[in-house]
Structure 1
């Protein structure tokens, strides 16, 4: 494909990766509706002993097992990473802890261990053996031909896991990873979540960007020929030579190709009605809304400070979601000293507003058997119409995986091949 003019709408991980790749062979204009790049747009300034530093919202941590391409991308861009402790504690909203595990790093690997307190023994005796057999059962399940054709509920039914195991261990972890409700988890294709949990339980260490996501987005954006902010796209329609982008201020621009690297629901909103099938497929990708706060309210991290874990999962039978609090001082480079700082997803306990530094409401896609079919159909549509298509799609929703940074990156790399841009030499094809 000869060099063409490409507009990429959206500057999350998918848009930045698409722009970074396409700019190697084409002229790219990256369009962001906000005042700064989207990947780190919700960061919050927080005071430290060394002055104000930015806390990523949401905080991004990852391991090489589930995020192989993100890890290799960072290596390629010379972005330094740091191993962080991501041990966890589980408790009820009254502050009582019922389970806790810690991590120890040995030889570049991360090993979890449990030192239960006397009052935590009843829960561990009830559920501990299920945790021990989980690894074996997940391996057996993923070898089944139908693992992606049944809901997660089928896994628990077939392997006879207790309600306590599901709602007091498995669900709080994956609900926090997927930022969705327990009900939404139960609708997930089982293979996707079981594979995710399997990699979370591996010994690959959890890592964090030094410099936060701003370091990654800056390195991706610097090679893109034209980055424009405050560019609010309201409609994209086909034209005889490509596609026309309509902006909120009435301006129009024509490009040879437009890549919609936004959320699926946002892509549908701006896509011309002539793309009837694409709009119908995008509508089947469902989103859930939740809140994230950065704060200094210690009530959301129960117990004395000397016993805090890096991550605390708070649960209640009254809610279909957990509350997950991260102790920023423990996991974020540059925040080790100073007043305790936390980030809480889905706060079930109202925080003291005087101690809240920032609050963000965001949407995340949730995967179901139906949305997975829609994603696969959309991928085939793009593949089967290479010669006549001028409007394209990529995003974290665009691969058969948990919608995280890795899936957004993979979606963009796979799209690049349609534009004659080879996959990077380091790229690892998804294992599933």
Structure 2
């Protein structure tokens, strides 16, 4: 059998190994000390409770390929809670909920602020339905051109978008308009009166599916093995340990910024693809400090956005998201450095993609770059940045390799 090297062990790399297991001898190289990338499960000390800090949820409407995969692996999952709150301490403002009935408190529903938000939600919904007519410009320009209120922008739309893509406000404003409107439309987020998808979380932590894939594929795994060079002409990789490994085909299942550092002599089409999507770093703290949660306990939600002019500050309440049975509250917070030290459980960092280009443009560039010198690209960054996109990209790579 021919040799396949996969760089990166997130959902995209693991899915590639699963789908191509009968065609190749597979080696997986991972620079971290664990498999999974953003699939990162932790064990609560002294209790047999697993929780996640990266990939957490998926739904029954938009994750068909991922669900098909984990069903084939016989992975158990349960319903999750996807409530969302926004807190802005500067104006003493909080809201939380899943729909209009809970977002708008009856005592505030007739205020000017709430009226503006409601009015613009309806307008935004209509524009989402006609998203194909939207030109490819930034979200900031779109909101300005359509005269959306500051209340809707700052207290509703931007916090939601910022939370979905783990991006700062300044970056979200530069996201491509069509990219966001199509996502909202496809996920039923454009109309908060309609029925939303049912969301799920994997029982005993998301790493459950990793174990099953590895058991089936039986790849040779290299943990803590950073690849520092890929010579696509001579078809070998070199690791930080100064070891070389030959391959027949190679799949990049890591981030674009990482690929650019190690791909020797990239072709123009490859470089164009790698420049299409950039990344930003987010610092993650797992903790039990409830000061990051809304002041009103009734507003405590699964996703809790704390308004900041600088970095995104978002707190996941894992007890609600993953139905943890422990009495201790487990929170996962992005980009907040004032958490009480005695409440900190662990610190992690992840990188998330920035989507400033239209999805169709990235897809077109990707098609042109795939397969040059038997180099392939797989990653959630080729879609909307989620697990379903990672699986879809793996299926696409399998299709292209089989057709070659």
2:236 matches 1:244:
yes
1:222 paired with 2:218, answer: no
Query: 2:398 aligned with 1:416, yes or no?
Result: yes
Q: Which of these residues, 295, 301, 313, is aligned with residue 323 of structure 1?
A: 313
Distance 1:284 1:195, change over 3 A: closer
- Kept after mapping to 2: 8 A contact 1:66/1:200: no
Counterpart selection for 2:36 from 35, 38, 43: 38
Q: Write out per-residue CA displacement over residues 261-319 of structure 1, whole angstroms, 9 at most, x where no aligned residue.
A: 11111111111125455235414421111212111111101325455222221114xx1
SS at match of 1:60: coil
Partner of 1:172: 159
Match of 2:183 among 180, 184, 196: 196
Distance 1:99 1:273 in 2: 51
TM-score for the superposition, normalised by structure 1: 0.83
**Structure 1 residues 92 and 101: CA distance shift in structure 2, 3 A:** same
Match of 2:137 among 131, 139, 150: 150
Counterpart of 1:205 (choices 195, 198, 221) is: 198
Please name the residue that 1:27 is paired with. Answer: 25
Distance in 1 separating the partners of 2:290 and 2:252: 41
Mind listing any 5+ residue stretches in structure 2 that lack a counterpart? 190-194
Partner of 2:192: none
1:67-106 equivalent positions in 2, closer than 5 A: 67-93=63-89, 96-102=92-98
- In structure 1, the gaps of 5 or more residues are 104-110, 423-432
* Structure 2 Cα separation of the partners of residues 84 and 223 of structure 1: 28
SS at match of 1:350: coil
Deviations 1:338-378 (A, max 9, x none): 0222111222x711011011111221110123897465323
Q: Establish whether residue 232 from structure 1 lines up as the match of residue 226 from structure 2.
A: yes
Task: From 285, 290, 293, give the equivalent of 2:282.
Answer: 290
Three-state SS of the structure 1 residue aligned to 2:62 is coil
For residues 274 and 68 of structure 1, what CA distance do their matches in structure 2 show?
34
Contact 1:263 1:395 in 2 (8 A): yes
1:340-351 equivalent positions in 2, closer than 5 A? 340-347=329-336, 350-351=338-339
Is 1:135 the equivalent of 2:122?
no
Deviations 1:384-432 (A, max 9, x none): x5xxx2222211222xx3212222211111011122189xxxxxxxxxx
Distance 2:228 2:252 in 1: 12
2-structure distance, mates of 1:371, 1:307: 35
**C-alpha deviation, 1:239, in angstroms:** 4.5
Q: Deviations over 1:206-247 (max 9, x none)?
A: 21111221012222222223231232211110345xx11112
Deviation at 1:101, TM superposition (A): 1.6
How many residues are treated as equivalent by the alignment?
396
Distance 1:248 1:47, change over 3 A: closer
Note if contact 2:236-2:244 (Cα within 8 Å) is conserved in structure 1: yes
SS at match of 2:369: helix
| Secondary structure in 2 matching 1:8 | strand
Name the CA distance, whole Å, in 2 between partners of 1:377 and 1:153. Answer: 25
Name segments (4+ residues, structure 1) moved above 6 Å.
none
1:407 to 386, 389, 393: 389
Sort the Cα spacing of 1:274 and 1:266 in 2 relative to 1 into closer, same or farther, 3 A.
closer
Q: Which moved more, 1:194-203 or 1:209-218?
A: 194-203
- Shifted more, 114-123 versus 243-252: the winner is 114-123
Partner of 1:430: none
User: Is the Cα–Cα contact under 8 Å of residues 40 and 206 in structure 2 kept in the other structure?
Assistant: no
CA drift of 1:179 comes to 1.0
Q: Is the 8 A contact 1:95 1:302 kept in 2?
A: no
SS in 2 for 1:192: helix
